[in-house]
Structure 1
Amino acid sequence: MTPPRAERGAALLTVLMLVSVIGVIAAASLESLKLQTHLSGNMAAIDQARQYALAGEAIARTRISDVSSTDRTTTLAGDWLDRPNAFPIDNGTATAKLSDAGNCFNLNSLVSQSDEGERVVRPMAVRQFEALMTLIGVQPRIAGEIAQSAADWIDSDTIPQPGGAEDETYARAPTPYRAANALMADVSELKAVAGMDSAIYERVKPWVCALPAPELSPININTLRRDQAPLVVMLLPDKLSLAFAQRMIDERPATGYSAVENFWSKPALRGISPPVEVMAQTKIKTRWFALEMQIETGGAELTELALIDGGVNPAKIVRRSWGDGA
């Protein structure tokens, strides 16, 4: 039996609608499949990049262990400092760069720590941090506030120093928070310290580090660059000028200093007697190394930043992060 003409038209319209819906579903499914395939490919490439980065770590640790166990000093010999070394990998490239991770102000040096874990403010480090910030252009009043507040952020007690800040200060923030009262795990914690703002943080960030020990900044006079002269001045801010510190670095022997005493006994420093603590924090051998790896493979890009402890044998990774850092 032949259906009426009107019903034949409705049936055709229904068929056309079904075809259209099926077409849309098929297109969406294909697009989803394409996206899933693309994401799977990216994940595989990133995973491969991480494996290359871990291999780079192993090579760096082996090299640092070899050098640290045989050399009494760490110098610029071999042109290794801050030098990007590129090497080919399957379907991409990798670049590794080592730097002296101790040539910075160690934020955790703002406290000293007892065997029981009690952390108390270390005035010498507070003065050094304040002097460093002033040298790089931070106003003295603000530099003092940040230095005192950063020490309060780390120490064990909840009593603010003169000019410092503890919980009651941070409780008044638009979004209240509390002081950490613990060693800093990353320099980005400095953003939360009273007196700090984004402009000052960007100025200070290249000069500071958060080593995993509350020790005075271990400045290696054999690996300092000329532009890092403020790190020398901060050791004796009332006795050394920036120009003088730059000249001291310029006049460093090509093979480096064989003893810390050789640096402080230079004729130009006659009459300047550094405290025992400053002598002790001046180094000729590097313990902490920073490794930066840049991996490009299969269309994926990956950056790894790692802190390596060369003071133990074999050298070990203390921490690592993936990405561009804080």
Structure 2
Amino acid sequence: MRRARQQGLALITVLLIMALVVMLVAGMLRSHQLLIASVSQQSETSRGLQVLMAAEHRALGLLRERLAEDMRVIHDAQPWAQPQLFSLGDVRLRVQVEDLAARFNLAALTRSREPDPVLFARWQRLCDALGVAPPDLAALHGQPFFDVSQLRELPDVDAKVLERLRPWVTVLPVQAGLNINTANGQVLAALEGVTPAAGRQLVEARPKDGHASVREFLQDPLLGEVASARGLTVGSRWFGVNLQADLEGQRMHLYSEVEMDFDTKRLRVLRRAFSTVRQAGVE
């Protein structure tokens, strides 16, 4: 009886050890599978980035060709603004270019301790229309300001506020004005005496080839007599290039901000952002 009990205990011990070994092996296999999946995902992401970088080179070449004409007036009926589709090998790509001067330039408010009152009032009206309290930009004065994401450093800007503002604002050199030929109704409604409805009407009534001058724009009856020419322009040399690639069931994006030198006809990449999520404000 005692011997049978010992044999039973031995059998139970062996079974427990075997169960432990099985669990350890299963855990190792699971870890191995996760490692393989991780390496595979990294490989796909790396390939996607390589494809997007190659596509960026091609897209910038196309943009340079389309901006090679007399570009003193920039408007969204020009060829550069039309979306493009092309392929690199088995990868389908979509390119959409936007005029960054169609957004409110935050750098114009942070270049001096006392912001331009006209531009500051527009900033407040834009924020009010977006349903956010105008963030105090004073803390950014005198600091290197390169990207909209730096707003997150301000105490009154949380992630929700940042994402609400991102599609409507940009950070360009202080001399960059608001291009009235590409700005949408929401941004134009921040001008003096312009209602949201009038902002939409200004876009609908915009000439096919854009306004030839700010003076011509200010003569529009929808503006009345209170709109100021301060900070307005009909041109731009800053563009956002959004590349979308569909690679093996995964959608990837490369967003590049570029500056055009109209004398040398060269494009300089200022910033890049790689993501699997479409950037806010880009169609």
- Pairwise TM-score range, normalised by the shorter structure: 0.7 to 0.9
- Rate the CA distance shift 1:93–1:63 in 2: closer, same or farther, 3 A: closer
Q: In the TM superposition, what is the alpha-carbon distance from 1:46 to its structure 2 partner?
A: 0.3
- Rate the CA distance shift 1:34–1:5 in 2: closer, same or farther, 3 A: same
Q: Write the distance in 1 (CA, Å) between the matches of 2:91 and 2:151.
A: 36
Matched, 1:65 2:51: no
Matched, 1:234 2:193: no
* Matched-pair contact (CA < 8 Å) for 2:64–2:266: yes
TM-score of the superposed pair, with normalisation by structure 2: 0.77
Q: 1:222 aligns with which of 181, 185, 198?
A: 181
SS in 2 for 1:48: helix
Q: In the TM superposition, what is the alpha-carbon distance from 1:97 to its structure 2 partner?
A: 2.0
SS in 1 for 2:54: helix
Matched, 1:185 2:146: yes
Alignment gaps of 5+ in structure 2: none
Q: 1:248 aligns with which of 202, 208, 211?
A: 202
SS in 1 for 2:269: strand
Residue in 1 aligned with 2:36? 37
Q: In the TM superposition, what is the alpha-carbon distance from 1:7 to its structure 2 partner?
A: 8.1
Q: In the TM superposition, what is the alpha-carbon distance from 1:39 to its structure 2 partner?
A: 1.5
1:150-191 CA-to-partner distances (Å, cap 9, x unmatched) read 1x12213xxxxxxxxxxxxxxxxxxxxxxxxx1433323334
Q: In the TM superposition, what is the alpha-carbon distance from 1:286 to its structure 2 partner?
A: 2.5
Mapping 1:154-303, distance limit 5 Å: 154-156=140-142, 182-196=143-157, 200-211=161-172, 213-215=173-175, 218-224=177-183, 228-235=184-191, 237=192, 239-266=193-220, 274-275=228-229, 278=230, 281-303=231-253
* Matched-pair contact (CA < 8 Å) for 1:86–1:94: yes
Q: In the TM superposition, what is the alpha-carbon distance from 1:43 to its structure 2 partner?
A: 0.9
Q: In the TM superposition, what is the alpha-carbon distance from 1:48 to its structure 2 partner?
A: 0.6
* Matched-pair contact (CA < 8 Å) for 1:106–1:215: no
Q: Which residue identity does 1:232 align to in structure 2?
A: L
- Rate the CA distance shift 1:38–1:199 in 2: closer, same or farther, 3 A: closer
- Rate the CA distance shift 1:16–1:286 in 2: closer, same or farther, 3 A: same
SS in 2 for 1:96: strand
Residue in 1 aligned with 2:114? 121
* Matched-pair contact (CA < 8 Å) for 1:61–1:314: no
TM-score of the superposed pair, with normalisation by structure 1: 0.68
1:98-123 CA-to-partner distances (Å, cap 9, x unmatched) read 212121111111133xxxxxx43332
Q: Which residue identity does 1:193 align to in structure 2?
A: L
* Matched-pair contact (CA < 8 Å) for 2:63–2:80: no
Aligned length: 272
- Percent identity between the two aligned chains: 22
* Matched-pair contact (CA < 8 Å) for 1:61–1:316: no
Matched, 1:134 2:120: no
SS in 2 for 1:53: helix
Task: Name the Cα RMSD after superposition.
Answer: 3.4
SS in 2 for 1:322: strand
